[in-house]
């Protein structure tokens, strides 16, 4: 096992130890507690953050591909069933970005040999319902809203491309290109309020990642290259992907790292690879030792705090810790030898 794979394995052990808990105390169930140390509600998954769980599941799949294990495969199976249980017997909710993320994770679970066809069918159908011609196309952020954004359209495009619906995936990606990509910087803005026509020009690492991933799935390599150049120039100071605090923002940098790592082997430039490796090195060197394994910083360019954690410390969040683990798994997929 390479040193990069060793790092990913250590992160996996820490996050599984700190965060995996039964759902409502029921045997045979498991999800990630959304905080550590957990509050009473977090301990029983009263607060459970559907889309955080989707990324935890996706990262468990990363680990299974890195180091196949029958025990982890059983854990993944229990995890999938627990998501549906905790979602009160359903696969979907009202947020199109949430269900797209679970769909992407379930697609990869299916490649491991587990039967998730029911979930994939429900998610695919709901995502297609989100498309309207308002503002030229695209899907909504959530049902009943007037906001169309990159966080929904990006993962949905990746999902549809992977299920073979490339025309639909192109429609979603082209809509983002036309409506949300800054023609000057190449950065991807957050979204569009359809009713007022207001462009929400927040720049999140998340949005760069999902647009990059969609273009990558559709072999739009010019767009891929331009997005990576924009990332390197604007959202990765000194080559380290910037953090965006805790809560939902805790996942943003890891999502970008995942798609940079997928792009890296396909490009002659080493920029994508270097961004992932430098970020992983910074994340690793800034981690703090705890009795339950390493604790990773919400901002990889700065060290994680020492214990005890303040009640509002973003490092308590599952999102922050999964993002770091996702980064280290992404780095482990790359050839870390210097390029000629």
Residue pair 239/275 in contact (Cβ under 8 Å)? The answer is yes
The CA-atom distances, in angstroms, between 93 and each of 25, 105, 185 are 23, 16, 34
The CA-to-CA distance between both ends of the chain, in Å, stands at 23
| Residue corresponding to tokens 């998610």 | 123
Question: 4: which DSSP letter?
Answer: H
Place of tokens 């996942």: 251
Give the pTM. 0.96
Q: What is the domain range of residue 142?
A: 4-238
Residue 299 covered by a domain: no
State the sign of the Cα–Cα–Cα–Cα dihedral 22, 15, 142, 90.
negative
Asked if residue 275 is part of any domain, the answer here is: no
Residue 260 lies in a domain: no
Question: Domain count of the chain?
Answer: 1
Give the model's pLDDT for residue 340.
27
Q: Model confidence over 138-194: pLDDT tens digits?
A: 999 999 999 999 999 999 999 999 999 999 999 999 999 999 999 999 999 999 999
- Half-sphere exposure in the Cβ direction for 234 (13 Å, CA): 18
Q: Is residue 246 part of a domain?
A: no
Q: Does residue 228 lie in a domain region?
A: yes
Q: Distance between CA 223 and CA 221 in Å, rounded?
A: 5
- Asked if the structure places residue 195 within a domain, the reply is yes
Omega within 30 of 0 (cis) for the link into 286: no
Alpha helix positions (H), the chain: 3-19, 40-43, 50-66, 70-86, 96-111, 117-129, 150-162, 166-180, 205-217, 221-234, 252-263, 271-285, 318-332
CATH code of residue 136: 1.50.10.20
Tokens of 86: 């905790």
Closest CA to 203 of 225, 177, 230: 230
Distance CA 271, CA 212 (A): 14
Q: Could you give the dihedral angle defined by the CA atoms of residues 305, 309, 312 and 318, in that order, rounded to the nearest 10 degrees?
A: 80
Residues of the chain with pLDDT under 70: 1, 335-340
Report the alpha-carbon distance of residue 52 to residue 29 in Å, rounded: 17
Please give the DSSP secondary-structure letter assigned to residue 287: -
The set of long-range contacts for 79-83, using a CB threshold of 8 Å and a minimum separation of 24, is 79/30, 79/31, 79/53, 80/106, 80/109, 80/114, 80/116, 80/119, 81/28, 81/29, 82/23, 82/29, 82/30, 82/31, 83/31, 83/50, 83/53, 83/54, 83/57
Any domain includes 315: no
Residue 266 placed within a domain: no
């Amino acid at each position: 096992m390479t040193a990069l794979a060793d790092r990913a394995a250590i992160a996996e052990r820490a996050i599984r130890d700190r965060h995996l808990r039964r759902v409502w105390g029921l045997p045979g169930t498991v999800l990630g507690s959304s905080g550590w140390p957990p509050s009473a509600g977090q301990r029983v998954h009263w607060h459970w953050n559907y889309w955080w769980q989707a990324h935890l599941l996706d990262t468990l799949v990363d680990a299974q591909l890195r180091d196949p294990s029958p025990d982890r495969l059983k854990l993944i199976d229990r995890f999938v069933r627990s998501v549906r249980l905790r979602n009160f017997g359903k696969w979907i909710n009202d947020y199109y970005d949430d269900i797209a993320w679970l769909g992407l994770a379930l697609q990869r679970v299916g490649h491991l040999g587990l039967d998730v066809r029911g979930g994939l069918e429900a998610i695919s159908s709901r995502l297609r319902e989100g498309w309207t011609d308002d503002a030229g196309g695209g899907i909504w952020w959530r049902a009943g809203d007037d906001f169309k954004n990159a966080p929904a359209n990006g993962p949905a495009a990746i999902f549809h491309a992977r299920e073979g619906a490339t025309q639909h995936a192109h429609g979603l990606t082209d809509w983002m290109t036309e409506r949300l990509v800054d023609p000057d910087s190449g950065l991807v803005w957050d979204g569009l309020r359809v009713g007022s026509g207001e462009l929400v020009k927040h720049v999140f690492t998340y949005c760069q990642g999902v647009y990059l991933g969609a273009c990558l799935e559709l072999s739009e390599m010019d767009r891929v290259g331009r997005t990576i150049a924009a990332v390197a120039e604007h959202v990765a100071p000194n080559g380290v992907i910037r953090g965006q605090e805790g809560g939902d923002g805790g996942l943003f940098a890891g999502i970008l790292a995942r798609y940079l790592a997928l792009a890296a082997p396909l490009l002659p430039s080493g920029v994508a690879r270097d961004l992932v490796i430098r970020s992983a090195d910074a994340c690793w060197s800034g981690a703090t030792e705890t009795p339950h394994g390493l604790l990773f910083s919400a901002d990889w360019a700065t060290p994680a705090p020492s214990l005890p954690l303040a009640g509002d410390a973003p490092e308590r969040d599952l999102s922050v810790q999964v993002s770091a683990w996702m980064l280290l798994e992404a780095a482990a997929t790359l050839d870390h030898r210097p390029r000629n």
